[in-house]
Amino acid sequence: MLRRRLNRWLGGEERRVDSRTIYVGSRSANEAFIPPKFCDNRIVSSKYTVWNFLPKNLFEQFRRIANFYFLIIFLVQVIVDTPTSPVTSGLPLFFVITVTAIKQGYEDWLRHKADNEVNKYPVTVLEGGRRIRKESEKIKVGDVVEVEEDETFPCDLVLLQSSKEDGTCFVTTASLDGESNHKTHYTVPDIDEDLESLSATVECEQPQPDLYKFVGRMHIDKIQDPTVRSLGPENLLLKGATLKNTQKICGVAVYTGMETKMALNYQGKSQKRSAVEKSINAFLLVYLCILVSKALVCTTLKYVWQSNPGQDEPWYNEKTQKEKDTNFYLKMFTDFLSFMVLFNFIIPVSMYVTVEMQKFLGSYFITWDKDFFDPEIKEGALVNTSDLNEELGQVEYVFTDKTGTLTQNNMEFVECCIDGFQYKYRDANSDLDGICTTDGPVNKVRQKAVEEREELFLRALCLCHTVQVKEPTEQGHSQREEDMVDGLGVDGHLVHPVQEQRGFIASSPDEVALVKGAMRYGFTFMGLESKTMKILNRNNDVETYDLLHVLHFDPVRRRMSVIVRSKSGDILLFCKGADSSIFPRVRPEEVEKIRMHVERNATEGYRTLCVAYKLLSAEEYAQADAGLREARLVLQDREERLMAVYNQVETGMSLIGATAVEDRLQEEAAETMEALQGAGMKVWVLTGDKMETAKSTCYACRLFQKNTELLELTVRTLENGERRREERLYELLREYHKKAVQDAPPNKAGITRSWSSAGQDFGFIIDGATLSMVLNSSSESTSSHYKNLFLQICQNCTSVLCCRMAPLQKAQIVKMVKNSKGCPITLSIGDGANDVSMILEAHVGIGIKGKEGRQAVRNSDYAIPKLKHLKKLLLAHGHLYYVRISHLVQYFFYKNLCFILPQFLYQFFCGYSQQPLYDAAYLTMYNICFTSMPILAYSLLEQHISIEELLDNAALYREIAKNAMLRWGPFLCWTLLGVFHGLLFFFGVRCLFSNPALQDNGQVFGNWSYGTIVFTILVFTVTLKLALDTRHWTWINHFVIWGSLAFYVFFSFFWGGIIWPFLRQQRLYFVFANMLSSVSAWLVIILLILLSLLPEILLVVFRKPRGPHTRQMKHRLPSSGTSTIFMLSQTASTHSFSWSD
């Protein structure tokens, strides 16, 4: 209560709901205040503690339906008198729970260890004029912390003091957003050098995760002149960032511990579920229905059979009094539960553990793949989540960014245009001699712009940016430092010798390209010192400008400006930005002579920026300065107020010219896109660039071909007609729908590019403004109709280009396709922060380790160094993962059906007495030991199609599209195979038992011998079935397959050959050895195994060898469940591993 009142008193009339107040330094004795409480500086990324691990972990595990189901079965076995021991379901459940708990506990222990390293790290805190060393976790909000060079910041600090004279410091935020470039941060003005006497109050927003946003103000209490200073992101040093090229700084802690921006950003992403997991759940429901049906049938038939005279209570099995007194319906329910327990092994609980292990271990194969290693950045692929491996083999739509993904984001200044005259850089020449013909009418007298305009344009390039000049430190380190800033040095022959060893530090490669472009023509940016920018002009004279304000770039405005004061006292505003952002803010008569140049450059695939300036009068500047200062001091709606001032001052400008920067295509970009389309995927390019630039890139990447008819839905096409925009939009949508959907050949609609057919290919182009009209129409019904038409058109085009897109619109597009009919699997790939929203929205998110920072990598499911690696990731790894895990799932259900069907059939021959066919040890060990390792090895190592063939023949990817191997057809095939094998096992052995004497001494076998023979045939058949399915043998496959069979035989001899003291009854004592003494038993075991596998053997013998076309695969994969692949045994020269013998 008091705290809220105090905030109100300090804040005046402004609302302080979302702000916090921090006191810095000592307070006077007569000043009454209650220091607010904030969290300590401990980082807690762990999930469990020693005390809550067991209950919390068990609670989470039993939330899974399968685990909870087996717990209920186990409790039923304990409470009710059931035919099998509780150990049979309890031990597998205990194994599953224990393995999962150990894995999760180990992962959490690693998190605890990492937390302790951070929390116990020693830091320096200034208290009462003394420097005190204490542990990082003991820092409190309001403490003044000292950090030295190359140390990381222990919490979020507002910069108060720097060892640099100009009050700046350099910071790298690689651990936060992956950006290795240096960022410049500034001290709060008017802070005394002696921090002991500092008394101030910081008001700032409550903690929030946006790394690039911070709003606050600082009240500095001075005896003579108390001042208020605004605080922004440039004053905030984030926890996890590292101090560079600055000896030391001091800052006040504003956010600590779990309230720091780093901690808020590391909270988990939403869980993505794969289509395979959904199929597993559907199959589980089917098998659960089978289980309940079996239990109901047996319960019903039991009471029908017992209704016959003498069957209910035979002379050899009289009921006790307690049994006679039991309620009939309760007894019936108990019998139903007993049958449920007897047949419950049809539900494969161990499958979940096997699937988890397969995903976890399988993900390492992507990380280890040497083909994904990039020598330039010395990194390979990265897997952030292993839950989606198989989804890589099911992708139907690929959404890709352009800059940095399809292109290299390695900018090079190509040409510029000044007052309509084109200047193309040819050779190293400090004068502007590279002149080509102009875009407009050529003035024969003057073939280039007047010198005054040239110099004004070049000054704008040198001043309108946020680039920093990197000074060389020592002779031996100069090369290393240049490398650190991406080698963005300067061309020595063009500039002053002093500048030769300098490099540039910038957050965007565009800015460096423009500054280097100006250097080619004689204007060199020398750096910023104490708010003074220095330029070396072509006469080798140094010009100085006072930097008054920077109007930072943002994606909404799409431009940035600086306000500077020259030596003569003139106040100039220089602005650069996208043509769509600049043209409406300059004089109309200046636009036409530049527009043609910009459009031509965009068509050639260059990135273009327009440059404008404005001479501000003293009154205009005073008004803008007051507006900016006032807006920067407010805490509520600061960005909106700043935007209003920016828009006000950036009007009535004069257009000087435009620049063209080339961004080359990524290596093998065209081949990769062609392969993805050949694999049946639709590729959509979502970019913020201009349509002409993006269209040129699409042609270069072969997404658009020469014969592709482009359907354009942009602001330009909407304005062509005389009607209103919305009417014109509807008219175009109907026209394109008729052309691309209604008039398309039946086999063409909805299919990828028909490489061999003569049919027309369509490409679709839409811009952000038109997309907003489609998605946000005036009425809901109209919007839905527009959306459906738009989606149908896009789905029938070979490629779609969406240009001028905001980051949120990218996510909207992905969401719209993801939720469309059929719920197609989507993949988004990008390299920058503006791609994060679409990466998180798609089923699978891929980050590229590019030059726009690592936000995309941090938020992705998988990260690769280059776009070309996407081809192998999807066509090889994705294909293999999907087929392997599909086989694993189907095989698990099949082998459990084979296991339980004989048990069900046995009830018809034992009076429905719930007599188990198998011994308890076999029931327990079947899924855990005897049949688990071969399928795990298969699901990790199998490949029946070579990597080379998968990459060369992209059409193979289509064979497994739309979850082909986990549909109801293949599932039914596997189920029927399981039924066939189960019937053969049971009735085949029953035929054997029709012979009254099976042993040499004339004795007959008992029921446990019957069950053991069935079980032996079962284990050998399901294991050898897997061996027949295996196309790629390694020593690991040999070891686990033959080793599992040998272990079964050894265990059976061992289990039945010893009298175990802890068993009340030993059912299998010498049964296995006795069984093998019978030649008849040997004959039946071998004969039934051969009969069971005969269809598989015939399929292998008569299968034709694979040709270049893969039509056979369609029939082979679902029926026999043939799995595929991985590249573990390719030759070392071409692939990563060699595990085979």
Which residues, including other chains, have CB under 8 Å from residue 821's CB and lie 6 or more apart? none
Strand partners, 536: 524, 542
| Cα separation, 22 vs 15, whole angstroms | 17
Taking the alpha carbons at both ends of the chain, their separation in whole angstroms is 75
Strand partners, 132: 125
Structure tokens at 497: 């010798």
Tokens 């296991």, residue located? 899
Element (H, E) at 70: helix 65-79
Q: Is 455 helix (H, G, I), strand (E, B) or coil?
A: helix
Q: Any idea what DSSP says for residue 209?
A: S
In order of 16, 35, 69, 223, 532, the CA distances from 6 in angstroms are: 11, 10, 56, 22, 41
List of E strands, 11-75: 19-25
DSSP 917-962: SS-HHHHHHIIIIISHHHHHHHHHH--SS-HHHHHH-TTHHHHTTT
| Cα separation, 978 vs 898, whole angstroms | 5
> Sign of torsion, CA 1069 1071 1076 1079?
positive
Taking CA 203 as the corner, what is the angle to CA 200 and CA 209, rounded to the nearest 5 degrees? Answer: 130
| Cα separation, 219 vs 889, whole angstroms | 65
> Sign of torsion, CA 860 866 871 875?
negative
Phi and psi torsions of 409, nearest 5°: 55, 35
| Cα separation, 1098 vs 1096, whole angstroms | 5
| Cα separation, 414 vs 1087, whole angstroms | 78
Taking CA 266 as the corner, what is the angle to CA 114 and CA 842, rounded to the nearest 5 degrees? Answer: 135
Nearest to 238 by CA among 218, 263, 216: 263
In order of 841, 905, 1017, 1042, the CA distances from 1085 in angstroms are: 54, 19, 6, 17
Query: How many Cβ atoms are within 10 Å of 557's Cβ, its own excluded?
Result: 18
Burial class (CB in 10 A: 0-12, 13-18, 19+), 534: middle
- 179-186, strands of its sheet edge to edge: 179-186, 168-173, 242-244
> Sign of torsion, CA 479 481 485 491?
negative
DSSP 237-301: EPTT-EEES-SEEEEEEEE-GGGSHHHHHTSPPPPP--HHHHHHHHHHHHHHHHHHHHHHHHHHH
| Cα separation, 403 vs 859, whole angstroms | 18
* Options 143, 177, 401, 663, the catalytic residue: 401
User: Among this protein's residues, is 401 annotated catalytic?
Assistant: yes
Structure tokens at 959: 């064979």
| Cα separation, 236 vs 176, whole angstroms | 14
- 227-231, strands of its sheet edge to edge: 19-25, 199-205, 216-220, 227-231
Q: At what angle do helices 932-941 and 1035-1057 cross, to 10 degrees?
A: 170
Give the active site residues: 401
